Amino acid sequence: MGLLTTLSTLAGTSIATAARRLKRGPLRPGWSFKFEATVAFMKATNERIIHLDAPSQRAEMESLFIPSPALKRVRREQVDAGGVPSEWFIPLQGSSDDVVLYLHGGSYVFGSTRTHGDLIARLALGTGARALGLNYRLAPEHPFPAQVDDIVAAYRWLLSTGVKPERIVFCGDSAGGGLAVSAMVALRDQGVPLPAGAVLTAPWVDLECSGESVETNALYDWGSKSMLLHWAKWFLGGANPREPLASPLYADLRGLPPLFLHVGSAELQLDDARRFTETARAQGVQAHLEVWPEMIHNFQTFGEAFPESVRGTAKMCEHLRGLLG
């Protein structure tokens, strides 16, 4: 594995994408060659690493990290946030007292402030806030509810430093989006003041993967139902997949702050976002859903070289700023 494997996968998927487009046109009408080749590369990478053990999967994902321009415009500081290894991303030109508490995706198995550093930095720069990325514990070594416990501990730590809850917003993608909801439910039940709200990108809120889009969008997205169920099994560690803090689609959401959800029309989690929005609204929660045409899972993480990612991140920042007032 390593660099040679990555380069081989990139070359193979790029050639295959070019050949397919010459014969049949783009897989989706709005996709550029660069975007389609990137999706194909990510899909092939997932298909290759799904058979590896968890540490090897993490190493493979970490190896894809490429330093970005955004990271040069922030100061990074390691911090112990209530026992959770975390990292501040602070704009070099100054920041407000607001905090974006960022929860990375990675199917509960991989991901870190390294893999998501570019996006976290862009959110800090786009909001003018300090962004705190959490490196919460990962499955299968640390199954549910370790991740929820870590987020609760980190949020309590933030409050103990004097940050007001109304100056904090949660933000998370995929598994991190689901964890953001679960952590808020847990904090509410513990009587802890909640943050101003949350911006959730393609939140994974149903570990049974029962939505139709998990299958109907499998041709376009860079994952699959079987992959998700594999990672869900590692995360659950024997827990019921309908446990509310594991699959917050089934949680009591009453009393949660406003939520903004972003999801792509061509991704596996489309129905997760739709069903969760309906559930939240039915329970009196302000929930705003934006469906991005033609987009796949976590397209916002593709970086500043992709106009789709730039637009998606800008909209996330707009919603984060709105929540912070």
Q: What is the pLDDT of residues 259-310, one digit of tens each?
A: 999 999 999 999 999 999 999 999 999 999 999 999 999 999 999 989 999 9
39 with 168, same domain?
no
Peptide linkage before 145 cis (omega within 30 of 0): yes
Q: How would residue 217 be classed by pLDDT, with cut points 50, 70 and 90?
A: very high
* Domain encompassing residue 301: 70-324
Rounded to whole angstroms, how far apart are CA atoms 199 and 288?
Answer: 10
45 with 83, same domain?
no
41 with 74, same domain?
no
Query: How many domains does the chain fold into?
Result: 2
Residue partners of 67: CB distance under 8 A and separation at least 6: none
6 with 145, same domain?
no
The answer to whether residue 64 sits within a structural domain is no
Rounded to whole angstroms, how far apart are CA atoms 67 and 118?
Answer: 8
Maximum Cα–Cα distance across the chain: 60
173 with 207, same domain?
yes
Of 177, 187, 186, 314, nearest to 259 by C-alpha is 177
- Please report, rounded to a whole number, the percentage of residues in the chain having pLDDT higher than 90: 95
Rounded to whole angstroms, how far apart are CA atoms 59 and 135?
Answer: 15
123 with 42, same domain?
no
Tokens 């106009």 sit on residue:
307
The answer to whether residue 226 sits within a structural domain is yes
CATH of the domain at 228: 3.40.50.1820
* 101's tokens: 């508490």
The answer to whether residue 61 sits within a structural domain is no
The answer to whether residue 54 sits within a structural domain is no
Q: What is the pLDDT of residues 98-132, one digit of tens each?
A: 999 999 999 999 999 999 999 999 999 999 999 99
230 with 178, same domain?
yes
86 with 204, same domain?
yes
- Among residues 36, 60, 267, 308, the one annotated as catalytic is 267
* 83's tokens: 């026992």
313 with 267, same domain?
yes
3-state helix, strand, coil in the chain (%, to 5): 45, 15, 40
145 with 228, same domain?
yes
Q: What is the pLDDT of residues 295-308, one digit of tens each?
A: 999 999 999 989 99
- Among residues 95, 107, 174, 247, the one annotated as catalytic is 174
Residue 267 appears among annotated catalytic residues: yes
Of 129, 153, 140, 116, nearest to 57 by C-alpha is 140
Q: What is the pLDDT of residues 11-28, one digit of tens each?
A: 999 999 999 999 999 999
In whole numbers, what is the pLDDT of the chain averaged over residues? 96
Our measurement of the distance from residue 84's CA atom to the centroid of its chain's CA atoms, rounded to an integer in Å, reads 18
136 with 9, same domain?
no
The answer to whether residue 202 sits within a structural domain is yes
Tokens 């593709």 sit on residue:
302
- Among residues 297, 308, 309, 319, the one annotated as catalytic is 297
CB count, 10 Å around CB of 74?
Answer: 22
Q: In degrees rounded to 5, what are phi and psi of residue 122?
A: -65, -35
18 with 167, same domain?
no
Peptide linkage before 55 cis (omega within 30 of 0): no
The answer to whether residue 224 sits within a structural domain is yes
Q: In degrees rounded to 5, what are phi and psi of residue 177?
A: -65, -40
The answer to whether residue 62 sits within a structural domain is no
Residue 297 appears among annotated catalytic residues: yes
